[in-house]
Chains A and B, each alone.
Chain A
Amino acid sequence: MVDAKQTVTEIVARADALYHDLEFGAVKRWKETHPGGKVIGCLPTYAPRELAHAAGMLPVYLRGAGDQVEIIRGDAYFQSYICQLPRGMIELALSGRLDSFDGFLFPAICDVIRNLSGIWQLHFPDKLARYLDIPQNFDVEVGGRFYAEELRRLLTDFEQLSGQKVSDDALRHSIGVYNTHRRVIQNLMDLRSEKPWLVPADETYLVLRAGDVLPVEEHIEMIKQYLQSVVELERPMRDHSRVVVSGAFCEQPPLGLIRTLERAGCYIVWDDMTISARFIAGDVSTSGDPCVALARAFIEQGVESASVYSCKKKKGSELCETVRKAGAQGVIFAAPSFCDPALLDQPMLQTALDQESIPWTAFKYAENLGQFQVIREQAGTFSDSIRLWGA
């Protein structure tokens, strides 16, 4: 028990240090221990990290500058009505914090991230700045074929950057490693929805965010150890409501906001803050053409997301299903200000919830938000209302 407590404390402390280190010391240490190794920074939401892994590179998710870096130069690049994340990215780059990165991947998620890829091409011509067009057509023979070709082109770029030719076997091996990663994350998510009092929201968040920067093998071990230890702890079950948090898939809420929600009486039993590593549900096939397997998994196993055209099901049905599966009592829509994908999605998702009598509340944030009192009151009132009256 004492050991378990200490293990959890140490894991969370390590994850916390990684989260707060915007000098990316872990990346620098990785480069020291992997001479000649290349690091690719991946913007939200989903990047096929298997490709970078197979090329011997370290893929690192980049999510802006959070609430730790004062934005000075970044603001000169964007108008007031553009979200916060790209300002943070520019600030990190211009302040030299991203110097140890060799390339950047900009997945198609919205027009801002798309155009940020162009800013990178113009401003940092000595670094790989690669936009990845994800398919919005979900026919395997149409969108799948295009995406597999996109993945092959990306792999070629990674091979050139790393100087390492990637065999199909190597890529299949990397897919297998990430399958394990997806499974252990799912285990953590399952525990979270079963016994949220054992895995507080901020801890879960930090442990999952550690995967943004750690090599995947290390992160798998970290989650496994955390899961083994945390179930041994005696943590009190509080009279909290159970909520799903939706809309925070790109620019991240500050850690203080996540803590605020739980302190306000909400157990977060599912969220999309850390959806990147869960974007593909289940295993990716490790047989056949690995690029085709990744493309097929994206098409057939990709989760509902505001950045992806919804054609498979009625809009919001997946969110309602998530609420039911996670045993949640309500949904908190937490979206970054000026986030077109999240905010344009909300009315449709809210309608779907209304039709199933699932209560919800909504607020906006920015990654550098510093005051949480209003949100605490709102979340507290929401939690009280669904516990007392079911809505």
Chain B
Amino acid sequence: MDNVDKEPSMLKQKEMIGAHFDRLAEAPAQGKKVVYTFVPGNLTELLLSFDVLPVYPEINALQSAMRKRSGDFISEAERIGHSEDVCTYVKCDIGMKRSGNIGPTGKPIPKPDLLLLSYTGCFTFLKWFELLREEYDCPVVLLHTPYQADGEITPSMREYMVRQIRSEVIPALEKLTGRAYDEDRLRECLELSRQAEDDMVHVLESAQNRPSPIDAYFGGVFYIGPMFTAFRGTKAAVDYYAMLKQEVDARIARGEGPITPDGPMGPEKYRLVVEGPPNWTHFREFWRMFSEEGAVVVASTYTKVGGVFDFGFRHDPNDPLGTLADYCMGCYTNRSLPQRVEMLASYAKKFSADGILVNSVKSCNSFSAGQLVILREVEKRTGIAGGFIETDLVDARYFSAANVKNRIESYLQMIEQKRSGKTEEVRA
């Protein structure tokens, strides 16, 4: 969004992220410990309570893609034997490490002192950290998050999670930092999380307005940034979301739509629900394919990948370890396909959507396997038009701009036809 006037929250987020990467770059000199972990099912509050700095390899990968660096990193990984078939986040990360591990601000990202493998909703995470373990000489602690296969969290699942956190994750952090587990400190972080979560949900739910003041997919990925990464559980995140909420409320009051990379969006013509992660290599171009057509995304599942908060869950300071367990198990990709269908169908209704569009990425089987079934089920249940496009996360070879644009335009025409059909029916 370099070409448009930035709102204060955008500037604040940029400043927060920049400061985090500065802290990371200075960590070895400052004697700060660095923990690599994943976005889904992250234990950020617990890490902060130990005063360690988290690094999220997926974030590094997507930022590399946005800076057009991922292609080289992926090539490097494939050169050393990684298959062209597998997750490009992994290859981008391995290639980035082999190329000096320079972060998005141009400063080096330090080696991990601990790999916290939060295995939540994505099998590839296991392999990813097995691979990183080979790269770095540091301990690994695993947190296995059971899958909500039957659409529920059983007491046994919760107990398993809590036991892992208590008997493995916390001791690993205590050993790493030389500090004792401080539950009061954790409660404070969880309380700050809860406050920020309230405001973030308010922002995401604002898309029920017409016009929607936000784009809940392309804009949404910026809104979830602090919440899903190093800032949940901090005062900075609380302030950021309060500021964002104010801005969004002001846009609602003025009857304005979302701000896109090209400035305020024109008249809202289509309201879409999107399933699946975005493409990062052509992020702006991809967004523009929608915004130029007046298509706004009013709800997305990708913005739930690091936590589902819009169905009532909030971190609970009164049950610190149990709430971390519930949070991890509730993340979007840890939910069964019937739950995902249910969620999408509810979004279609709640946000008065004209259609549901799946962006199926080659790299992510956790999201992608079954998406065609999900699409048909949601269409069947809601009656709205379904569309399907294919791209990838960070491998530009799988983003065919002309093809994607064609499909989006055809899809929007289909929605238009469906509307005229309905109008004709009403007239008749």
Contacts and interface: CB of A to CB of B under 8 A. Distances in A.
Interface of A: 76-79, 81-82, 86, 108-112, 114-119, 121-123, 130-131, 133, 135-137, 139, 141-143, 145-146, 149-150, 153, 306-307, 309-311, 315, 335, 337-341, 343-348, 350-351, 364
Contact of A118 (B167, B338, B368): B338
B163 A121 contact: no
Contact of A343 (B85, B360, B366, B368): B85
4 cross-chain pairs, A with B, having the tightest CB-CB distances, nearest first: A118-B337, A131-B149, A344-B127, A146-B160
Contact of A337 (B85, B130, B167): B85
Contacts of B370: 77, 115-116, 118-119
Contacts of A335: 83
Interface string B338-381: 10110000000000000000001010011011111100010000
A42 to B, nearest CB: 15
Contacts of A340: 85-87, 123-124, 127, 365
Contact of B149 (A86, A133, A142, A306): A133
Given A136-B144, A315-B134, A118 B336 contact: yes
The SS class assigned to the A binding surface is: helix
Contacts of A145: 160, 163
A119 B373 contact: yes
A32 B149 CA distance: 33
A142 B168 contact: yes
B156 A146 contact: yes
A132 to B, nearest CB: 8
B338 to A, nearest CB: 5
B370 to A, nearest CB: 4
A307 B83 CA distance: 17
Contact of A137 (B142, B154, B159, B371): B142
Contacts of B237: none
Given A79-B390, A137-B142, A142-B168, A344 B90 contact: yes
B123 A343 contact: no
B341 A111 contact: no
Given A123-B373, A146-B160, A348-B134, A341 B149 contact: no
A122 B160 contact: no
A135 B83 contact: no
B146 interface: yes
B160 A142 contact: yes
Nearest to A142: B163
Contact of B144 (A109, A115, A130, A135): A135
Nearest to B377: A122
B342 to A, nearest CB: 11
A306 B140 CA distance: 18
B177 interface: no
B142 A78 contact: no
B134 A364 contact: no
A346 B78 CA distance: 12
B138 interface: no
Contact of A350 (B81, B86, B144, B341): B81
Contacts of B336: 117-118, 121, 131
17 contacts: A114-B123, A114-B366, A119-B337, A119-B370, A121-B338, A131-B149, A133-B149, A141-B163, A142-B168, A153-B156, A309-B117, A309-B144, A315-B130, A315-B133, A345-B127, A347-B81, A364-B83
Contacts of B80: 347
B251 interface: no
Contacts of A139: 167-168
A123 B340 CA distance: 15
Contacts of A137: 142, 144, 160, 164, 168
B123 A341 contact: yes
B126 A309 contact: yes
A137 B164 CA distance: 8
B372 A79 contact: yes
Nearest to A315: B130
Nearest to A347: B81
Contact of A79 (B119, B144, B368, B377): B368
A112 B369 contact: yes
B85 A338 contact: yes
B147 interface: yes
A130 B151 CA distance: 12
A322 to B, nearest CB: 18
Contacts of B142: 136-137, 309, 311
Contact of A110 (B123, B128, B150, B362): B123
Contact of B337 (A76, A115, A130, A344): A115
A309 to B, nearest CB: 5
Nearest to A114: B147
B180 interface: no
B407 interface: no
A78 B369 contact: yes
Contact of A78 (B130, B131, B164, B372): B372
Contacts of A339: 85
A341 B369 contact: no
A119 B257 CA distance: 37
Given A111-B365, A121-B338, A311-B140, A364 B131 contact: no
Given A139-B168, A344-B83, 19 more contacts: A82-B368, A109-B123, A111-B124, A111-B365, A111-B366, A118-B337, A118-B340, A119-B370, A133-B147, A136-B142, A137-B142, A141-B167, A142-B167, A307-B123, A309-B126, A309-B130, A337-B85, A350-B81, A364-B83
